[in-house]
Amino acid sequence: MEHSDILATLKTAIIDGDAAMAADYADKALAAGVDPLMAVEQGLSQGMTYVGDRFESGDAFLPELLMAAETFTAAMNILQPALEQMKKDRPPRGKVVIGSVKGDVHNIGKDIVATVLGINGYQVKDLGVDVPSLTFIEEAERFNADVIGLSAIMTTTMPYQQEVIETLIAKNLRDRYVVIIGGGSVTQQWTDRIGADACGRSAVDTLEKLGRLIKRK
């Protein structure tokens, strides 16, 4: 079976919420020699992005989002051992504290970003969801982080991304961290307005931007 067909089917399985198909094709991906990171980035993550966009636009609802998340997990359970092996083979690249900001309980996009960063050599501390602004900073200091990642799916919680940056400035800590933000409604205009270093439009985009920012730092 062609690698492209396997990746397309993984994406379809996420969109359809078919956990059995996702697990089956994750197995097929490994058997066919598909790079497990590619299976995540070009198969599963694309499906999650599609479902997430539909949810944001009101064309999909919470049960579909939850089914997609469960399907993603089913496939990841198959891919995880291979991904862990890849992680061991990669040089360390930096430390990242990541979470969904205060008031935001969405975790799917954030979880995918955390997974992809971890696979690619970053030490990732995932703070979960509904994280108070000060907690990001306290945990970044405790973890000796290089990066703070702030996810906000809802427009009503995006101001907390700004609050974290303002708190860093007030504590004279802003220059210590790369701050990258993400979420369906986050734009480059918002990123520039609040003084974040970058916005990640996807897990792969976040990975690429962090690589450049960390080198500069």
Q: Give CATH superfamily name and number for 94-216.
A: Cobalamin-binding domain (3.40.50.280)
Residue type, 7: L
CA distances from 187 to 50, 51, 153, 167 (A): 18, 19, 12, 21
Identify the sign of the CA torsion 20, 25, 31, 33. Answer: negative
pLDDT number for residue 61: 86
Which residues of 75-118 form beta strands (DSSP E)?
Answer: 94-100
Q: Identify the CATH number of the domain defined by range 3-88.
A: 1.10.1240.10
pLDDT number for residue 7: 97
Report the chain (217 residues): mean pLDDT per 10 consecutive residues.
95 97 97 92 89 83 88 94 81 93 89 88 95 98 98 94 98 97 92 97 88 85
pLDDT number for residue 83: 87
Count Cα neighbours of 42 within 13 Å in the Cβ-side half-sphere. Answer: 13
In the chain, CATH 1.10.1240.10 sits at 3-88
How much of the chain is in helix, strand and coil states, percent to nearest 5? 60, 10, 25
In the chain, CATH 3.40.50.280 sits at 94-216
- DSSP code of residue 174: G
